Chains A and B, each alone.
Chain A
Amino acid sequence: MSTANDSAGARLILNIYIGLFCLYLFLPLAVMSAAAFNSYDYPSVTQWRGFTLQWFVALAHDGRLIQGLINSVAVALGVIAVSIPAGLAGALILTRLGQRSGTVLYSVLVSPVLTPGIILGISSLIFWREFGVPGGLFVAVMAQSSFIASYAMLLFLARLQRQDRTLEEAALDLGASHMLVFRRITLPFLAPTAFTAAVVAFLQSFENYNTTVFAIGGEWTLVTEIASRLRFGLSPVINVVGVIFVALTLVAATTYVLLSSRKKAR
């Protein structure tokens, strides 16, 4: 597990610790998932009333949650549309800037990542009200994009550090137009990162609560709807949403591991 010279005792303690840590991470999720199948109208595993799928049916008939899901997807797509171009532009500019002006710009562009989410939501809400736009899906997209674009930019920056600039320069010397170079060399080089950034943006947007709850106004996303229901009490329908998330994540993670190990084997 650890360095070769570690004493057996220390290694054992570390392994036990890792075991407990993983238990801490996974047990709550397991409990939440199990309760989704319990035929008892309060989510519980200690009061077991028999296996049921009735809460899945209840979820399928829950109009507000379904609409919330649709809204969440719409917001996430909007965030991708805003934050990928913004992040790309920021990264391309930063890689071409000098050290000093670069640092200032970098600080500004990274600052949303270090700002508490509620503040991003509040400032967007106030800003857009000046233009007569009340809180809603649009303001939620804008508020979320402000920091998700920074994440996208960081991903692009990391990729651009490994870029071989001589390729672009050679193409320009050979008479290609700037547009052509950008389309044929720069963009293809960045395409895999753009895909990763889009996935990250989608996940970040989808699960965001702290920013969204301030920006969303009278509308709702899946997450804000769940949160407002929790005020009135727990329901196994929420557990079903949890189970679906856990299942999707497990499938995605397994696929990722399998794909990456296959890539390594090749």
Chain B
Amino acid sequence: MASLFRAYGRGLGALLLAIAALWILALILVPLGAMIEQSLWWKDSKGEITLQIDRLYNDMATLQLDASGESDAAKKAGFEAQIAQKQAEATALEAQETNPPKTYGLANFTRMSGLHFYIFIRTIIYALMVTALALVVCYPMAYAVALASGPRKAIVLTVALIVPYAINELLRVYAWLMILDYRGVINGILGWLGMVDLDNRGWIPFLENPSAVFLAMIYTYVLFMVFPMVNTLETLDRNQIEAARDLGASSFRIHRRVIIPHAKPGIAVGCIMTFMLSAGSYSVPAIMTRGQGGDWFSQLVYRQFFESNNWNMGSAYAVSLLVVCTAFILIMMRLFGVGLRDIAK
């Protein structure tokens, strides 16, 4: 802290600190805290209270009827007292109905229905599968780019990788939607070949299969896997590979013993980014399935917020997702022995 003021002076140093503090508080920590807080309370459902109020008014109407048919003054007063008491109860409940009290607890987490919990687990498994597939698909590519010889080749390959990335994520998903849709490109070609009958809805429903989401997701997040690996592989001394080869190691063995160990931090970072992005992706499953394939957890979160209008439950779902992602990051960091500074390169 002292060296900051020494370098930039009191005024400027304080300004920098203020800006950073504002960023941390207003954009990162307090919003996160607000979300967690929101997930920890709920207001009792209005339906029950409304029912109680209705019942009280029914009782009052019956009592009213009894009272008006009653000639005995004492009994009549008794009825009237009962009516007044019920009215007071109803008024209190009505106040609760418009502004139910907050109750704190973990119920938002434990109340997750069986189906939603199943989708939660399935999303995690799907995200792990996407990550593993992306790793397998991207490793040869990263190897080729990192060890490409001519500088021109490296430029071309880098551009070839960056150009698709620079195009909107949504539009990349859209391109796949077009290809895999009922009347999409693949079904169109199959129709040409006479293998499916488009006129009678005899198309193959690719989009109803989870692998359609996988395909688009790997396509969308491929670069987050490739780049970290390229970064680490570029620092590999090629003499190591040649030495291993001269000593008679097979290609497979060289990859297993020389290249992959060197690429470890890159693999870890690529897996962390891909898992985080795919587990939390709303765009890809929402657009690819359009409600016709299996839901991903992010879609449930969205619905809790904007269709059920239950922000507390939605926050609890979001917190659950965050916990899983954080756990995955910590496990990967431990397994691969990488620090936070390696991740953010």
Binding site for B on A (CB under 8 A): 1-7, 10, 14, 17-18, 21-22, 24-26, 28-29, 31-32, 35, 42-47, 85-86, 89-90, 92-93, 96-97, 101, 103, 106-120, 122-127, 130, 142, 145-146, 149-150, 154, 165, 168, 177-179, 182, 203, 206-207, 209-210, 213-214, 223, 226-227, 230-231, 234, 238-239, 241-242, 245-246, 249-250, 252-253, 257, 260-261
Find out whether the CB atom of B179 lies under 8 angstroms from the CB atom of A28: yes
A227-B321 CB under 8 A given contacts A93-B4, A108-B29, A154-B344: no
* B31 A90 Cβ-Cβ under 8 A: no
* Distance, CA A116 to CA B273, complexed state (A): 9
In the complex, residue of chain B having the shortest beta-carbon distance to the beta carbon of A168: B7
A-B contact count (CB 8 A): 272
Instruction: Collect the chain B residues with CB atoms within 8 Å of residue A207's CB.
Output: 168-170
Given contact pairs A25-B222, A122-B315, A142-B26, A14 touches B277 in the complex (Cβ within 8 A): no
Stretch of B32-40, B53-61, B72-80, B83-91 with 4 or more beta carbons under 8 angstroms from chain A: B32-40
| B286 contact set on A, CB distance < 8 A | 227
Known: A24-B219, A122-B305, A122-B315. A234 touches B344 (CB 8 A): no
Q: Are B290 and A230 in contact (CB under 8 A)?
A: yes
> Chain B residues near A35 (CB, 8 Å)?
178
> What's the minimum C-beta distance from B279 to chain A, rounded to whole angstroms?
7
Q: Does B293 contact A (CB under 8 A)?
A: no
- Could you tell me which residues of chain B, from 292 to 345, have a CB within 8 Å of some CB in chain A? 298, 301-302, 305, 311, 314-315, 318, 321-322, 325, 329, 340-341, 343-345
Leading 3 A-B pairs by shortest Cβ distance: A116-B280, A178-B9, A46-B188
Q: Is the CB of A241 within 8 A of B159?
A: no
The CA of A149 and the CA of B26, in the complex, are separated in Å by 13
Contact A45–B31 (Cβ < 8 Å): no
Given A1-B153, A96-B3, A116-B279, CB of A86 within 8 Å of CB of B140: no
Q: A213 to B306, alpha carbons, bound, how many Å?
A: 11
Give Cα distance in the complex from A203 to B163, angstroms. Answer: 13
Query: What CA separation (Å) do A253 and B163 show in the bound complex?
Result: 7
With beta carbons under 8 angstroms apart, the residue of A2, A24, A97 that contacts B144 is: A2
By a CB distance below 8 angstroms, the chain A residues around B287 are 227, 230
Centre residue among A28, A150, A154 by max chain B CB count within 10 A:
A28
Once the chains are docked, how many angstroms separate the CA of A233 from the CA of B32? 35
B251, CB-defined interface residue at 8 Å: yes
**Chain A residue with minimal CB distance to B329?**
A114
Contact of B23 among A106, A149, A260 (CB under 8 A): A149
* Interface stretch of the complex, out of B42-50, B96-104, B237-245, B260-268: B237-245
Question: Quick check: is B133 within 8 A (CB to CB) of the other chain?
Answer: no
13 A-B pairs within 8 Å (CB atoms) are namely A1-B153, A10-B251, A28-B219, A29-B172, A29-B175, A92-B4, A103-B340, A117-B282, A126-B31, A146-B31, A177-B9, A209-B282, A249-B166
Produce 1/0 per residue, B1-28, CB < 8 A to A: 1011001111110011101101110111
Query: In the complex, what residues of B have CB within 8 A of residue A6's CB?
Result: 251
Query: For the complex, what is the distance from the CA of A24 to the CA of B176, rounded to whole Å?
Result: 10
**Those of B155-177 within 8 Å (CB) of chain A:** 155, 157, 159-164, 166-172, 174-177
Contact B141 A96 (CB under 8 A): no
Kindly state the separation between the CA atoms of A223 and B171 in the bound complex, as whole angstroms. Answer: 9
Please indicate the chain B residues that have their CB under 8 angstroms from the CB of A119 in the complex: 35, 280, 318, 321-322
Report how far A117 CA is from B279 CA in the complex, Å. 10
Which residues of B have CB within 8 Å of A149?
23, 27
CB of A162, distance to nearest CB on chain B (Å): 15
Please give, as numbers and ranges, the residues of chain B lying within 8 Å of A47 by CB-CB distance.
183, 188
Check A113/B344 contact, CB under 8 A, given A207-B169, A210-B281, A210-B282. Answer: yes
List the A residue with the shortest CB-CB distance to B21: A89
Q: Which residues of B contact A130 (CB under 8 A)?
A: 34
A14-B144, A242-B174 given; A92·B169 CB < 8 A: no
| Also in contact, A90 and B20, with CB within 8 A (given A14-B144, A108-B28) | yes
Q: A149-B23, A182-B8 are in contact. Are A122 and B147 (CB under 8 A)?
A: no
Which residue of A96, A112, A261 has the most chain B CB atoms within 10 A of its CB atom? Answer: A96
Whether B277 and A127, one on each chain, are in contact in the complex, defined by CB atoms closer than 8 angstroms, is no
Within 8 Å of chain A (Cβ to Cβ): is B283?
yes
Whether A5 and B242, one on each chain, are in contact in the complex, defined by CB atoms closer than 8 angstroms, is yes
* Chain A residues within 8 Å of B32, by CB: 123
> Which of B167, B241, B279, B314 has a CB less than 8 Å from the CB of A249?
B167
Contacts of B141 in A (CB 8 A): 17-18, 21
